Amino acid sequence: MAFWPTKYDDSQRRRATPALGQTPSPPPSPPPLQPATPDSSPPRGSDEARTALRLAQLLRGTITPLRGDTVLELLEPHRPRLVPKPVNPLPALVGQPQGRMLDALLRPIGQIVTDVLLPGVRDHLIDRLVTGRTDHDETLPNAVDLAEAMRALVGRMRGGGKAHLQSVVAAIEADARTTADTLTRERRPVDVGGIDRLARALLRFEVRRMVLEVLGSGSAVQDVVYQSRRLARYSLHRATEAIEGFVADRGLKALHASLATLAQADGLIVIALRNLDDQEETKEESGPFVEPADRKAMNDWLSAAWRLSDTLFDLVGKAAAGGGLDDLLFAALLRQLRSLHYFCADLSHAGRPAAVDTLKQRLIERADALARLTGDRLVEVLLAKPADRALARRLVARGRLLAQLLYDMDRDEAVEELALRIVVAAEALGEAR
């Protein structure tokens, strides 16, 4: 299993904006990913969670009388009022085997661990992984580390408190099923943030999976893996439907769904990476008449992306030659091409299909050709007698937007060639550089 962070487009930070007479407006960056749920109240058991993590660390080291004092001091704030204050038994056992000293230390603290710490850890993990509570406190212990500490403490206590561990497993497993069922029933058109919500849900599945693996629940892990694969396929299907809609129907609603989908390129990368991980982990059998479901979902997405790129270049090509396409729509179509290239360029995975590289190269080649067409058309309009100055200005404006696209694709030579013509045309039209 691979774990991947959400990516963010830093192309505007990596490269300075080129000077083309007038600075092209940078593309709007995708909205930042928000917490999975609106519940911002702090999770329960934060103090117990920190203490359990520290206690597990102390019990892994060499047991000495001094360490025993540290353990008792650590647990004192959590001691129930009716439980007598424990006394350190280790000074009388100096020189005894480590196992005997550990058992002696666990006897006076066992009730605090099983009745206070483990229930607190249980509530804390459930609140964070199921309820989604967070107080945005960076000092909260990592959920995977906390699960490891919980399992270690249950092991130290010879199974004492195991019911609390099993409660966490059952809650996470049930939440995974509910989440997948709820999300895969959604049939409304993709809106702004829809793909990112699905990507965040998949990332939460990764955390669930890691926690369950640490807690040692094999059957629950398999169920969560199944639900995650199901959600990843559904997410790719939703993205495919959105961009296929614009290929088939170039109306405003279809355009909005396509724009909303591709604007969330980071989320698409997360979804695609999860799908490629699934393909790598399952190795489903395939034949001439059988295509594994995970691979089919990816192939359908890439086929739709290819068809969309053809549609976009057809529309943009006519507009770049001076067609009557609205300037805002022209810019929106270029943003889709930029997002497609970003997806192809940043999808880093050992199982990355060859079609991704083919699509990336095709996007570059057609963008280069479009730049040459725009530059040639601009010269042709300026040399005409009489020159159509309004058309020339429109071509200059669209050339600048196209130059930004080329720049984001790292096509420096093509940018320079187009920039030269734009600067000369701007001077001929009397525009300020």
Tell whether the model's pLDDT for residue 1 goes beyond 90: no
> What whole-number distance in Å separates Cα of residue 411 and Cα of residue 416?
9
Model confidence at 283, in pLDDT bands (50, 70, 90)?
low
Closest CA to 235 of 273, 189, 199, 260: 199
Model confidence at 289, in pLDDT bands (50, 70, 90)?
low
Q: Is 384 exposed, middle or buried (CB count within 10 Å of its CB: 0-12, 13-18, 19+)? A: exposed
Q: Are 297 and 282 in contact (CB under 8 A)?
A: no
> What whole-number distance in Å separates Cα of residue 396 and Cα of residue 402?
10
Structure tokens at 68: 């025993």
Among 37-41, 270-274, 281-285, name the most confident range.
270-274
Model confidence at 82, in pLDDT bands (50, 70, 90)?
confident
Which residue has better confidence, 7 or 72? 72
> What whole-number distance in Å separates Cα of residue 107 and Cα of residue 111?
8
Give me the DSSP letters along 270-327. HHHHHHHHHHHHH----BTTB--HHHHHHHHHHHHHHHHHHHHHHHHHHHHTT----H
pLDDT score of 83:
84
pLDDT score of 410:
93
Residue 287, φ and ψ in degrees, nearest 5: -155, -175
Q: HSE on the CB side for 186, CA within 13 Å?
A: 19
Q: End-to-end alpha-carbon separation of the chain, Å?
A: 53
The counts of H helices and E strands in the chain are 16, 0
pLDDT in tens, 310-328: 999 998 988 877 777 788 8
pLDDT in tens, 89-145: 999 888 889 999 999 999 999 999 999 999 999 999 999 999 888 766 677 889 999
Tell whether the model's pLDDT for residue 25 goes beyond 70: no
pLDDT score of 288:
55
pLDDT in tens, 367-422: 999 999 988 888 888 888 887 888 888 888 889 999 999 999 999 999 999 999 88
Tell whether the model's pLDDT for residue 304 goes beyond 60: yes
Over range 209-214, report the average pLDDT. Answer: 95
pLDDT in tens, 385-396: 887 888 888 888
Q: Considering only 38-47, 60-69, 84-93, 353-362, which range has the smallest mean pLDDT?
A: 38-47
Q: Are 211 and 121 in contact (CB under 8 A)?
A: no
Tell whether the model's pLDDT for residue 162 goes beyond 60: yes
